[in-house]
């Protein structure tokens, strides 16, 4: 499967387009590399790539980077999920994996519970496992609470809405 146009549009809306580098934790523009340096539609800038992005990018470059960034998350969802999915379920899984990272997604209780609803995890439901990804730097984030609720609405009801 691949991400639908509706899923792609919502993910871009959630991530928002930023043409100048910024600190993902604070949202403030930056002029030197920091952990969490980000640009475009949520593209994390590595320290080695800082010189490529430090002066900003165009909208077209942001779109191209977003397309390249998405590919491994789409592949990860296809690899990790062993049961048939509806398009909205697949889209929601790509959106959450894009945010929490492919490695975290792969090891998550979300994946375990989708593949086997009876699997033993710390969570009583897929809903609670999904919404547990609500922390940034160890602290509950209202932005992540809202994001998880939006993703859950896509997954469980096919409602594609931001917050």
* Residues that are catalytic: 15
Supply the DSSP symbol for 118.
T
Q: How far apart are CA 130 and CA 154, in angstroms?
A: 12
Distance from the first to the final alpha carbon of the chain: 26
The residues that bridge with 44 in the sheet, in sequence order, are 38
Q: Kindly tell me the burial class for residue 17, based on how many C-beta atoms sit within 10 Å of its own C-beta (0-12, 13-18, 19 or more).
A: middle
Q: Are 60 and 85 in contact (CB under 8 A)?
A: no
Q: How far apart are CA 42 and CA 65, in angstroms?
A: 10
């Amino acid at each position: 499967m691949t991400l639908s146009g509706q899923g792609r549009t919502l993910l871009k809306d959630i991530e928002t387009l930023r043409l100048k580098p910024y600190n993902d934790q604070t949202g403030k523009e930056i002029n030197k590399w920091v952990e969490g340096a980000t640009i475009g539609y949520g593209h994390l800038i590595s320290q080695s790539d800082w010189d490529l992005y430090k002066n900003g990018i165009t909208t077209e470059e942001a779109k191209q980077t977003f397309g390249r960034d998405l590919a491994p998350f789409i592949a990860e969802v296809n690899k990790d999920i062993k049961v048939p999915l509806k398009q909205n379920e697949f889209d929601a899984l790509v959106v959450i994996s894009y945010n929490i990272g492919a490695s975290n997604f792969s090891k998550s209780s979300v994946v375990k519970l989708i593949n086997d609803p009876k699997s033993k995890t710390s969570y009583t439901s897929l809903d609670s496992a999904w919404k547990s990804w609500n922390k940034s730097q160890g602290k509950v984030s209202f932005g992540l609470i809202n994001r998880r609720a939006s993703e859950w609405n896509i997954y469980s009801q096919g409602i594609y809405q931001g917050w």
